[in-house]
Structure 1
Amino acid sequence: MKPIDRREFTIGVQWWFTNTRWPRDFHNADYESLAAQNPDGVFLDDWWAGFLPRLTAWLALRPFSRAEVTALLVANRDDLAGAWHQACGPVKDRDITRATWDQVRAFPEVVARLKPTSSPVFRSKFCHFLLPRVFPVFDNSAVGGSRTYERYFNLVKGTWEATSADLQASLVAELTQLVENSGPKPLYAGFPMATKITELALIGRKHA
């Protein structure tokens, strides 16, 4: 697996700032809000009413309607809860370096029923919002290239793990500074460093 190159990370950051309207704090404030709202496997209507608009804002539903996805959520609610407790509960305090696809796959496989398409975008965003340190987010325009979420998960995990510890630490420090210089809040303790740095590097790799 090819490790992260610092130039790729720099290009990825520049692309984020100049080609998107995404938050300049790299969603730091969002991650804190999402953690406070995490249902921990209890996917009730009140939680969904707040979660669904975020999926919509992140363009995760199209071409499905809110009503269609909501109906599929209701139909799969029990399986979703069971998969969360089986796959995510044991790793919810870890990051992607301490989780494998085989450990967590049951959850994104049930999530995929809520929007039955071949694209990994919806399931990656749904899972990322709930467990961002474990599940990397996939965006076609930003990263592209992965036909399945399993492949993208393993690409992110392998790329980070192939990167030297010294460069990992340096990039963590750099992204921490970028977040705190760009946003209204200090770095959230649960910020997904490994997945976010690797995402930025893969963006840079694609757009170099």
Structure 2
Amino acid sequence: MLPIDREQFAAGVRWWQTKTSWPNDFHNSDYEVLAAQNPDGDFRDSWWAGVLPRLTAWKALRPLSQADVTGRFTEHRDELSRTWHQACAPVKDLDITGVTWDQVRTFPEVVARLKPTRSGSAVFPSKFCHFLLPRIFPVFDNAAVGGSCTYETYFNVIKCTWEATPAALRAELEAELSRIVEARGRGPLCEGFPMATKIVELALIGRRHP
């Protein structure tokens, strides 16, 4: 797996900033809200009503309707809760560097049933899971990183790319992204900001949009 390149990271940041609907703080303020709303496996209708508009805004539902996905959410609610407590709760304080796909896979596999696709697209499960544990589950966006892959493949690309990057460069990029977020946002970097997954995502964006 190729390590992160400084210029690719910088290109990813520039491309992100061209997207007027994407926040300049790289969702830092959103992560604070999502952390406060995390139901920790208690997936009630009230939580779903709050997260559904965000999934819609992030273009995770199309071409299905909110009603279609809500019906499947209700159908699989108990499985979501069970697999959250089995796979996610034990590692929820870690980030992607501290877990493997096999440890957490059962949860995104259930999530994918809420919006089944022929290709096994990573888009919906990645965004749903990212809202809950952004430091573990990277978000996949077709327009940003391109291509088509399963969520398992994308998860492992993010994890292995970060691990292949020298520690000194990782530290440099963490400091740089912290500076950018705090300069462009409305507050300091939140405690749960997904540093590793966000930096690799930006580098992959930069590879696609140099």
TM bracket (short chain): over 0.9
Partner SS state of residue 141, structure 1: helix
| Superimposed CA distance per residue, residues 36-92 of structure 1 (whole angstroms, 9 cap, x where no aligned partner) | 000000000110110101000101000010001000000000000001011101110
The runs of at least 4 consecutive aligned structure 1 residues that moved more than 4 Å come to: none
> Distance in 1 between the 2:31 and 2:196 partners?
14
1:134/1:140 CA distance change after superposition, 3 Å: same
How large is the RMSD of aligned CA atoms in angstroms?
A: 0.7
Q: TM-score, normalized by length of structure 1? A: 0.99
Unpaired segments of 5 or more residues in structure 1? none
Percentage of pairs with the same residue: 70
> Distance in 2 between the 1:166 and 1:20 partners?
32
Amino acid at match of 1:109: E
Structure 1 residue 167 displacement after superposition:
0.3
Amino acid at match of 2:171: A
> What does residue 197 of structure 1 align with?
199
Amino acid at match of 1:87: A
Out of 138, 141, 148, the position equivalent to 1:139 is: 141
Amino acid at match of 1:137: V
Structure 1 residue 19 displacement after superposition:
3.7
Structure 1 residue 146 displacement after superposition:
4.0
Structure 1 residue 23 displacement after superposition:
0.2
CA contact (8 A) 1:146 1:152 kept: no
Unpaired segments of 5 or more residues in structure 2? none
Structure 1 residue 206 displacement after superposition:
1.1
Q: Please give the residue correspondences for 1:74-93 in structure 2 after superposition, counting only pairs within 5 Å.
A: 74-93=74-93
> What does residue 48 of structure 1 align with?
48
Structure 1 residue 207 displacement after superposition:
1.2
Residues paired across the two proteins, number: 208
| Superimposed CA distance per residue, residues 168-208 of structure 1 (whole angstroms, 9 cap, x where no aligned partner) | 00000000000000011110011000000000000001112
Q: TM-score, normalized by length of structure 2? A: 0.98
Partner SS state of residue 188, structure 2: coil
